[in-house]
Amino acid sequence: MSNRDYGDMFGGGALVAIGAFIAYYAVTTLSLGTVSRMGPGMFPAALGVILAVLGAVILIPALFREGEALKVEPRSLISVTTAMLAFVLLVEPFGLVPAIVVLTLIATCADGKLGWLGSAILAVVLAGGAVLIFQVGLDLQLPTLNWPW
């Protein structure tokens, strides 16, 4: 046991920093408008402030609480980073569904608890949910399935 909860301190501090950056960026580059006629910067600024406040709610108690030593697992770090990179590289040439399937299959290797069948089921559910949300619900023009050859 260490004398501080470094995991929550790091996580809360990261949320505060990200939220503060988002709020600052929205306030300085976008028009906020008024409460009755909101501009394009009002929503991101509000989300940034909310994220920073929630981060502070996590960070402040962690300063006074004992916790376990922080350990970094390289397998998880590499897996999640590779999954995000694969999604970015695959979404435009192959479409939303294949990119989400590959992202899910790679990301579930981070802890290895799900197995291949569980990962495949999760990938199908997430891809279907993404199609429903982004294409049916929001009517975004993302290709569902695109074969580049």
Largest CA distance in the chain: 58
Q: Smallest Cα–Cα separation from 23: which of 40, 56, 50, 48?
A: 48
Structural domain boundaries of the chain?
6-62, 74-137
Sequential pLDDT tens for the chain (149 residues): 557 888 899 999 999 999 999 999 999 999 888 888 888 889 999 999 999 999 999 999 998 888 887 788 889 889 999 999 999 999 989 989 999 999 999 999 888 788 889 999 999 999 999 999 988 888 878 788 877 66
Phi-psi region of 81 (alpha: psi -120 to 50; beta: other; left: phi over 0): alpha
DSSP, collapsed to helix, strand or coil, labels residue 33 as strand
Alpha-helical (H) ranges within the chain are 6-29, 42-62, 74-94, 96-107, 115-130
pTM of the predicted protein model:
0.64
Q: Smallest Cα–Cα separation from 59: which of 118, 4, 8?
A: 8
Q: What is the pLDDT of residues 112-142, one digit of tens each?
A: 788 889 999 999 999 999 999 988 888 878 7
Q: Smallest Cα–Cα separation from 147: which of 104, 94, 81, 80?
A: 94
